[in-house]
């Protein structure tokens, strides 16, 4: 899963594969009018659930995985994230399967004050 820039928005998505696509441009001096772009084919997540975002004081980014795919220039990928599946109980009482985003998984276990008997 990645966090990426799409126009002026920040989006989340699942990368299905990376590829190069040939793009035709205006002919240059050498007569070559093609160049290759490195892209990621990404399945989009929805925008975060506004109710959960507000109730959690902007800490729970809960999204749904959509059926929409797009191709994004790999230079627009900002970071790798984790989208963890979870069944949320929404404010109106209904339950919904969504994913919540974690940006830096595993960093909370880096400082476990474990003595190894080296001293």
pLDDT in tens, 51-107: 878 888 888 888 999 999 999 999 999 999 999 998 877 767 788 888 988 887 555
Name the residue among 93, 101, 90 with its Cα closest to residue 60.
Answer: 101
- Residue 49 has a pLDDT of 82
Asked if residue 118 has pLDDT above 80, the reply is no
- Whether 15 shows a pLDDT value over 90: the answer reads yes
- Per cent of the chain over pLDDT 70 is 82
Q: How many CA atoms lie within 13 A of 71 on its CB side?
A: 8
Report the alpha-carbon distance of residue 63 to residue 96 in Å, rounded.
10
On the question of pLDDT at 11 being above 90, the answer is: yes
Q: What pLDDT is attached to residue 68?
A: 97
How many CA atoms lie within 13 Å of 24's alpha carbon, on the beta-carbon side? 0
User: pLDDT class for 47, splitting at 50, 70, 90?
Assistant: very high
Beta strands in the chain (DSSP E): 2-6, 9-24, 34-45, 62-63, 65-73, 77-80, 82-89, 95-102
54 sits in which H/E element: helix 50-55
- The pLDDT of residue 30 is 66
């Amino acid at each position: 899963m990645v966090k990426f820039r799409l126009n002026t928005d920040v989006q989340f998505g699942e990368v299905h594969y990376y590829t190069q696509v040939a793009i035709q441009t205006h002919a240059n001096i050498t007569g070559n009018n093609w160049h290759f772009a490195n892209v990621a084919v990404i399945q989009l997540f929805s925008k975060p659930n506004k109710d959960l975002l507000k109730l959690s004081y902007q800490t729970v980014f809960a999204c749904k995985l959509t059926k929409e795919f797009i191709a994004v220039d790999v230079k627009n990928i900002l970071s790798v994230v984790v989208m963890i599946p979870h069944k949320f109980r929404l404010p109106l009482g209904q339950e919904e399967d969504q994913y919540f985003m974690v940006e830096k998984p595993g960093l909370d276990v880096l400082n476990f004050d474990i003595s190894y008997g080296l001293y």
